[in-house]
C-alpha cells in the first residue's frame, strides 16, 4: 500500500492519530499508544495498536512509523526530507518485488512534497536485535550479510537508471559534498589520526571522483548503498537484515560488499577471511541468477573490488553528529587498514584514464 504525492502527510508526532493510522492500515483503530520514540535525521515512533474489531486476521499490533517529525531538524537540515521520501519510495516501489533479501515488512508508505513516511513492523516484537554502537562479528555472520546483498544484486544485475529513471543517484553527490572540506575536517582536533597519504585532500578527492566516474559497468546493479553496521539487524534465527533504504542507487556491486565487510569485521578477521567471504558472495550471486565471475582468472574482478573500498571514505571525514565518535573511531581504523592493505588510492589513480 502506498500514498500519492497529493496528500499532505503528518509532520508532527501529534498528527499520527488513531484515525490516520487506521486509514493507512485499513482497519479502524481503537487505540494507538506511542510506546517509545527514537529521534534522528529520520525519527522512528513506535506504537502499540488496539483495533476496534478484535478479529485475529493478519494485521500489525506493533508498528514503527518512520519519517521526519522534528520541525527543528527539517529547518536545520532540509535534505533529511529527501531521504525520508527515498525510503518511502523503496517500500512502495521496490520492496514488493524483491525476492531474496531480508528487510522490515512495511504495511504502508507514501510521500508528499514535505514528507516521506513508512509504516513498518516493530522488529523488536519479532525477536530481532541490533548491533551495539561498536562491535565486530564473525566471518560466518558476515557471509550471511553478503548472501542478502547477492540476492538484491542478482535480481537487478546490469540494470541502470535508464531502466528505472526515478532511481536517481543521490549518493555520489552527497559524498562529494562532504569530502569537499577534506583538509579541514581531517585536521580538526579530536579526529582519528590518519596516515600522511590520507591527509592530502586534493589527491583523495581526485581518487573519489575517479572512482565514481570510472566504475566498471560489468559490475553494475542496484545497491542498498549504506550497508554499515548501523543499518543492519539480526533476525530471531540469527540472519542479517538491512535497514535504512534511503541511499539505494545503481553502482558497482562491490560497493555494498566491501562497505558491509569493513564495518562488520575486525581488522584481523577481515584480513583472514575476506577472500573467503568474497568467494561466497560471488558464488551466491551466480546461484541466484547473476553472472559467474572468477577472481583468479579475471583481473577486472579484483581491480573493481579493491577500488570499491573507496566507498568507506565516509568514516575518514564523517561530520560530527552524523555518527557517534566511538563508531567513527573504530570504523575509521578499519577503513585505514583496508586502504593500506589494498592500496586503494594508488589502485584508483594508477589506472589509465578512460579516453574522452
- The whole-angstrom distance between residue 267's C-alpha and the CA centroid of its chain comes to 21
pLDDT(5) > 80:
no
**75 pLDDT higher than 90:** no
The domain spans of the chain are 2-126, 139-349
What's the pLDDT band for 3 if we cut at 50, 70, 90?
low
Residue 277 predicted with pLDDT over 70:
yes
What is the percent of the chain with per-residue pLDDT over 90, rounded to a whole number? Answer: 87
Backbone angles phi, psi at 268, to 5 degrees: -65, -45
Q: What is the mean pLDDT of residues 128-146?
A: 95
pLDDT for residue 323: 87
Domain 139-349, CATH: 3.90.1200.10
Average pLDDT over residues 63-72: 92
Q: What is the domain class of 2-126 according to CATH?
A: alpha beta
Entry pTM: 0.94
Distance CA 115, CA 117 (A): 7
- Given a cut of 90, whether residue 219 has pLDDT beyond it is yes
Paired residues of 329 in beta bridges: none
Identify which has the larger pLDDT, 345 or 79: 345
Q: Any idea what DSSP says for residue 345?
A: H
Residues 107-130 have a mean pLDDT of 96
Domain 2-126 shares a fold with domain 139-349? no
Asked whether the predicted pLDDT for residue 337 surpasses 60, the reply is yes
Encode pLDDT of 44-65 as tens digits.
Answer: 999 999 999 877 577 899 999 9
- Measured distance CA(275)–CA(304) in Å, rounded: 14
Q: Using the 8-state DSSP alphabet, how is residue 297 labeled? A: T
Residue carrying the nine cell digits 562491535: 135
Residue 6 has pLDDT above 70, yes or no: no
Model confidence pLDDT, tens digit, residues 281-333: 999 999 999 999 999 999 999 999 999 999 999 999 998 778 889 999 999 99
The residue-averaged pLDDT of 89-97 equals 96
Total Cβ atoms within 10 A of residue 121 = 17
Q: What percent of the chain is modeled with pLDDT above 70?
A: 97
pLDDT at position 73: 77
pLDDT for residue 321: 77
Indicate if the pLDDT at residue 93 is higher than 70.
Answer: yes
Amino acid at each position: 500500500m502506498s500514498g500519492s504525492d497529493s496528500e499532505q502527510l503528518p509532520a508532527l508526532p501529534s498528527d499520527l492519530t488513531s484515525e490516520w493510522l487506521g486509514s493507512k492500515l485499513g482497519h479502524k483503530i481503537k487505540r494507538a499508544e506511542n510506546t517509545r520514540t527514537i529521534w534522528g535525521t529520520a525519527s522512528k515512533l513506535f506504537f502499540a495498536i488496539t483495533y476496534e474489531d478484535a478479529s485475529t486476521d493478519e494485521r500489525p499490533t506493533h508498528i514503527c512509523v518512520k519519517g521526519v517529525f522534528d520541525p527543528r531538524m527539517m529547518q536545520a537540515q532540509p535534505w533529511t526530507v529527501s531521504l525520508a521520501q527515498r525510503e518511502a519510495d523503496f517500500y512502495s516501489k521496490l520492496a514488493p518485488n524483491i525476492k531474496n533479501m531480508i528487510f522490515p515488512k512495511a504495511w504502508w508508505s507514501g510521500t508528499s512534497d514535505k514528507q516521506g513516511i513508512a509504516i513498518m513492523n516493530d522488529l523488536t516484537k519479532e525477536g530481532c536485535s541490533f548491533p551495539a554502537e561498536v562491535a565486530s562479528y564473525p566471518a560466518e555472520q558476515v557471509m550471511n550479510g553478503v548472501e542478502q546483498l547477492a540476492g538484491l544484486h542478482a535480481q537487478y544485475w546490469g540494470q541502470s537508471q535508464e531502466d528505472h529513471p526515478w532511481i536517481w543517484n543521490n549518493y555520489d553527490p552527497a559524498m562529494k559534498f562532504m569530502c569537499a572540506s577534506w583538509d579541514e575536517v581531517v585536521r580538526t582536533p579530536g579526529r582519528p589520526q590518519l596516515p600522511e597519504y590520507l591527509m592530502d585532500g586534493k589527491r583523495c578527492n581526485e581518487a573519489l571522483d575517479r572512482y565514481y566516474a570510472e566504475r566498471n559497468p560489468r559490475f553494475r546493479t542496484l545497491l542498498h548503498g549504506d550497508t554499515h553496521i548501523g543499518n543492519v539487524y539480526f533476525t530471531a534465527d540469527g540472519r542479517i537484515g538491512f535497514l535504512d533504504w534511503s541511499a539505494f542507487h545503481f553502482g558497482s556491486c562491490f560497493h555494498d560488499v566491501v562497505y558491509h565487510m569493513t564495518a562488520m569485521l575486525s581488522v584481523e578477521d577481515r584480513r583472514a577471511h575476506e577472500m573467503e567471504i568474497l568467494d561466497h558472495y560471488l558464488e551466491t550471486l551466480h546461484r541466484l541468477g547473476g553472472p559467474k565471475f572468477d577472481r583468479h582468472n579475471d583481473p577486472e574482478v579484483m581491480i573493481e573490488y579493491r577500488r570499491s573500498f573507496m566507498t568507506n571514505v565516509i568514516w575518514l571525514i564523517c561530520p560530527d553528529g552524523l555518527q557517534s565518535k566511538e563508531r567513527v573511531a573504530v570504523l575509521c581504523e578499519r577503513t585505514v587498514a583496508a586502504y593500506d592493505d589494498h592500496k586503494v588510492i594508488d589502485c584508483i589513480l594508477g589506472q589509465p584514464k578512460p579516453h574522452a
